[in-house]
Amino acid sequence: MTRNHFRAVSFFAASVCMSAPAGAVDFSLFGDVIAQSGDREEDVSTFRLGKFDLFVNQELDDETRVNAELIFEDAGHGFETDIERFGVTRTVNESLNIAAGRFHTPLGFWNHNFHHGIIVQDTVTRPFFLEPDDAHEGVFPTHVVGLMANGTAERGDYTINYHFAIANGPSIDTTARDEHDEPPELQINNYQDGSDDKAFVARVGVAPTDGNWGVGLSAMNNTITESGEKLADPASSPYLDKGEVLFKQQIVALDARYTTEKYYAIAEYFTIRMTDGENFNPSRTDVTASSDQYTGTAQYLQLGYTVNDEVGVAVRLEELKFDEGAAFFETLGFVPETRTVYALRYKLSDSNVLRFQLTKAKTDDESFTRYSVQWFFMLF
């Protein structure tokens, strides 16, 4: 997309959003505390604070609303503040909404429906490859900054919902491991894109109007650029000059769900196609570039059973696979991995819930078990 095309699209979106008197603001506060242990040597039995989540929603008028989600969390390096969502949405008609801002990427089912402050989620964790991009675990951007159109339409006995977004492409600072010895993360670029190429993401979902199942097809196209600055030490310098293309990423996802009064099943399958940039020839020796396209796959299946109004149980199988030498995955510190999650949810009341989870994980080099107990609560 050229600069002129991008400006035209931006002008159209802005033209449908008109100013109006402000109304009352709705606030919600979510939080959690976790106790965790594991059987690896480096796993220490510990308590830790989870995320403190402030969600704000305001209707500016009958057609316009603003929402924002601000999270305070300590990932082990002191408290940090992240704006997870922040955007304005204008309802054009019953089947079209236009929004601008930062949103959860409408790729697949989980990322778009299970938000940070969700109280009905059965498990303590998300599928590990769907962890937020700022958690050093995101395989693809779980947030986008840009423009989004979405809506629903009735077609006979079926409801069709769609999302389409054009957004800043992500970037990676390949100066890599910082003082905390963590791999780099996908950066969402709230302020400025790394290049003129934009990310595109779309999802179409279909479900019977009165049914208990649904399916969705998603696709995303990204250009991932270098955001690291040149350093004096070549061994610590970024792979490329700032703004150059590191990787091109295409993702196709299929999701399906089925629910009854007692049971549910959710499944997603992602194909992640990667191409290293034309100039991608890192001087550092920890990653080797490839001239060919390579592919990774990620998938999960979660089954749940509601025992009664207070108790629910779930099991989830999740997997990330890719071949050795996949520069994108190795840059972000991933290894092929499978996990099995067993969870018990106990609802103390409508505003707080206990979750117990056992996670068994396996990579080519190790197997480990992790135990987690989470007390999740909603203040108001």
Which range marks the domain in which residue 364 is found?
Answer: 3-378
What CATH number did the domain enclosing 54 receive? Answer: 2.40.160.10
The β-bridge partners of 146 are 101, 167
| Block residue for tokens 């594991």 | 38
- Per-residue model confidence (pLDDT) at position 280: 73
User: Residue 233: CA atoms inside 13 Å, Cβ hemisphere, count?
Assistant: 3
* C-alpha distances in Å from residue 116, one per residue of 30, 120, 153, 255, 304: 9, 11, 28, 20, 20
Q: Each residue of 90-136: pLDDT tens digit? A: 999 989 999 999 999 999 999 988 877 777 789 999 999 998 876 66
Q: Which two tokens stand for residue 291?
A: 């001239």
Number of domains present in the structure of the chain: 1
- Per-residue model confidence (pLDDT) at position 1: 53
Angle at Cα 342 formed by Cα 336 and Cα 345, nearest 5°? 135
- Per-residue model confidence (pLDDT) at position 286: 63
- Per-residue model confidence (pLDDT) at position 183: 82
User: What is the full per-residue pLDDT of the chain (380 aa) written as tens digits?
Assistant: 555 555 554 554 455 444 444 556 888 899 999 999 999 888 899 999 988 999 999 999 999 999 999 999 887 777 888 899 999 999 999 899 999 999 999 999 999 888 777 777 899 999 999 988 766 677 889 999 999 999 999 998 999 999 999 999 999 988 865 555 678 888 999 999 988 999 999 999 999 998 899 999 999 999 999 998 877 776 677 888 888 999 999 999 999 999 999 999 999 999 999 999 887 765 555 666 677 889 999 999 999 999 999 999 999 999 999 988 898 998 888 999 999 999 999 999 999 999 999 999 999 999 999 999 999 999 87
Contact 261, 306 (CB under 8 A): yes
Distance between CA 119 and CA 122 in Å, rounded? 8
Distance between CA 147 and CA 139 in Å, rounded? 22
- Per-residue model confidence (pLDDT) at position 317: 98
**Can you count the helices (H) and strands (E) in the chain?**
3, 19
DSSP code per residue over 40-69: STT---EEEE--EEEEEEEESSSSEEEEEE
| Block residue for tokens 């049971």 | 263
- Per-residue model confidence (pLDDT) at position 43: 86
- Per-residue model confidence (pLDDT) at position 299: 97
Nearest in space to 295 (alpha carbons), one of 267, 325, 319: 325
- Per-residue model confidence (pLDDT) at position 262: 96
Would you tell me how many other CB atoms lie within 10 Å of the CB of residue 187?
19
Distance between CA 329 and CA 119 in Å, rounded? 31
Sign of the Cα torsion 320, 116, 85, 77 reads negative
